[in-house]
Amino acid sequence: MSGLGKLSPAKRVDGNNDLPLFYVNTMSVEPQRRPSDTTRVSVTFAEHLMNVEDARNDESASSRALGIASPITSSASSFNSWTSAPASSISSSPFVLSFNDLTYSVNIQKKFNPLACCRKSRNGSSVNTKILLNGISGEAREGEMMAVLGASGSGKSTLIDALANRIAKDSLRGSITLNGEVLESRLQKVISAYVMQDDLLFPMLTVEETLMFSAEFRLPRSLSKKKKKARVQALIDQLGLRSAAKTVIGDEGHRGVSGGERRRVSIGNDIIHDPIILFLDEPTSGLDSTSAYMVIKVLQRIAQSGSIVIMSIHQPSYRIMGLLDQLIFLSRGNTVYSGSPTHLPQFFSEFEHPIPENENKTEFALDLIRELENSAGGTKPLVEFHKKWRAKQAQSPSYSNGNKKNNNASLKEAITASISRGKLVSGATNNSSNLTPSFQTFANPFWIEMIVIGKRAILNSMRQPELLGMRLGAVMVTGIILATMFTNLDNSPKGAQERLGFFAFAMSTTFYTCAEAIPVFLEERYIFMRETAYNAYRRSSYVLSQSIISIPALIFLSASFAATTFWAVGLSGGTSGFLFFFFTILASFWAGSSFVTFLSGVVANVMLGFTIVVAILAYFLLFSGFFISRDRIPVYWLWFHYISLVKYPYEGVLQNEFQDPTKCFVRGVQIFDNSPLGEFPNDVKLNLLKSMSGVLGTNVTAETCVTTGIDILKQQGITDFSKWNCLWITVAWGFFFRVLFYFTLLIGSKNKRR
């Protein structure tokens, strides 16, 4: 192969580079130098992966593989053959991300002042404008790591968000280009990745499983399962996670990997498709010095494989500083230094604040910036000096030559060359006829996404059986209490009234137990936002998959509750009555879980979510028709009666119980049971019946049926819908809230600042 030299199998690097990373045989290529010093031949992660696969084959097969030079027609084929592109074609198409005069401000509402009405505001406005970015400019190149530094509130994360297209276009001023062309949002999602500051991972999945699920989301269906597994194994080696591959991620209640390993897994999740641009928000936050260094070392190798790495970092150590290529120091949204770490001493020396020889450069710079911020003049002198210094640097021949070098490749040419080297394994294709890369918004069809989402959710839930166990326990305890409280109800007036109470409590219980599902999505909320922000899968796939996988658990809970209560309470209808009761319970669980899922998409706080759910369900029960019949509800509250989720299953099971016109609940003297006359002797009651018969002209005896089940339904005002209509309406409510949940995710997960 021309240009790439001979790649050696993966080996562990000794010394300070204690990560199991891949290396290039120095006998076949030039010694590695800093990207800024010379043209570099990129060795992509896909090439590393092919190297791992070759190591598994016999020597003769490896020799034949190295002799193949077939052209690559898609990103997937990079796993099957070596690219024949010469080094010159690769090095002549570098990526350059330029940003110029980025400015971003937000409006902050002034604090309420009760005396404001007594005196006029100076500017007459109730809001203040705060500038978070003020004319930030810079340039990041392929193979380099750029770090954004500054104190808290300096604008580090804001700048990363601006570059990563996480700020609305109409709010951000300035330009961001890649190889001189403006980046479209859709294209940027395909070629870039963003690693958040928090490690958002499923706690009960192992490191290997986490990366494998990420591979199934981000890598195209055209790649075989074997190729995806090989890619994950190579990535585990690149991230230095081999010893933790079978360890669960863990959380507060389950012991798992260390903080540094979690951070590297988070990075691995977002680089599984080998992006061209990688953004990271404080990747070393919360890590000890050694773990932080290992993370940055991994990022350096990612950059050297042909990526642009841009990160915010709070206060890097001396060793980390040696790995960085470009620095941007910010102070209250202004640039106070931008350039190579090697130029820091010269810059501050010319500013008449020389850095002492044995002092950490970044610590000195940050301390000086803080001192200036607290001074009367602020950092304005340093900002102005930086502008003059950059202007003077731009006029130097070395600076001009460095900027002109390798800057003649268009974006299409650079992406085409990058794909042909094995990067962007996420559905991007390189059309060999016109050399124009095309991109799919999502790597896989929606049904593949649904299967993967479902598999991951089921696996994570199976390793936390206590979650389903707690919910089942709550349902069973409630069922047993109801079964023992309302055992074998008779067909008397009191029995009829007790049935009403049983059904009202049973139906409301199914909804209240659904409130326990609130933390489930809230735990996944930010994982979902991170994954969908860069098109790992469709929001519709997530909603459909979550809906489908919830059904088996709901069926199990419904069957347990129905079997515990139906026969013990003595409800009527036999087998058909039991089946309708079961389906109504299932529909109630479905509607309740959908309602809670929708609210969890709106409310981000667990305690607030519980409060809102409990309050709304209490209102639903109040207007269900149990406490006050529909005919007696004030007309201005009648609308709430019809949107009550409890109304429809409650009316459905009542009709299922009282629909038999031959079944009698009040006979003869029983009409006096719920009145003071009920305390009189039975003979007195019979005489009263004879007197009533004479007045009414109808013979009423002790056995005459006075009130049937149909009469009870009329007394309760249940005449609008049949029991089957009530069942279907309850099911429809569940689908309605799932649709609302989808639109909530669609609107609320844009993940962009305004």
Each residue's pLDDT tens digit, 695-734:
777 777 777 788 888 888 888 888 888 999 999 999 999 9
**11-25, 122-136, 494-508, range with the lowest pLDDT:** 11-25
Q: Note the pLDDT of residue 106.
A: 85
- Compare 399 and 360 and report the one with higher pLDDT: 360
Q: How much is the pLDDT for 439? A: 64
DSSP H or E run through 478 = helix 465-485
Overall average pLDDT of the 273-279 stretch: 89
Q: What is d(CA 29, CA 590) in angstroms, rounded to the nearest whole number?
A: 63
Between 58 and 339, the more confident residue is 339
Alpha helices in 374-404 (DSSP H): 380-394, 397-404
Phi, psi torsion values for 139, nearest 5 degrees = -150, 130
Distance CA 252, CA 262 (A): 13
Output the pLDDT for position 668: 75
Give residue-wise pLDDT tens across range 166-202: 888 788 899 999 988 888 888 888 888 898 888 888 9
What is the rounded average pLDDT for all residues in the chain? 80
Specify the pairing of strand 326-331 against strand 145-149: parallel
- What digits encode the pLDDT tens for the residues 420-464? 776 765 555 544 444 445 567 788 888 999 999 999 999 988 888
**Lowest mean pLDDT, pick from 380-389, 663-672, 737-746:** 663-672
Report the candidate in 625, 668, 151 with the shortest Cα–Cα distance to residue 368: 151
Check residue 590 and give its pLDDT. 95
Q: pLDDT tens digits, residue range 75-124?
A: 333 333 323 333 333 344 688 999 999 999 888 766 555 555 555 445 55
Inform me whether the pLDDT recorded for 56 exceeds 60: no
Letter string b/e over residues 166-200, b meaning 16 or more CB atoms within 10 A of that residue's CB:
bbeeeebeeebebbeeebeeebbbbbbbbbbbebb
Structure confidence at residue 483 (pLDDT): 94
Mean pLDDT of 556-578: 93
- Is it the case that residue 566 has pLDDT exceeding 70? yes
**pLDDT tops 70 at residue 38:** no
Question: Cα separation of 450 and 543, whole Å?
Answer: 9
pLDDT > 50? residue 8: no
Residue where the block lists tokens 């001009």: 400
Percent of the chain, pLDDT > 90?
Answer: 32
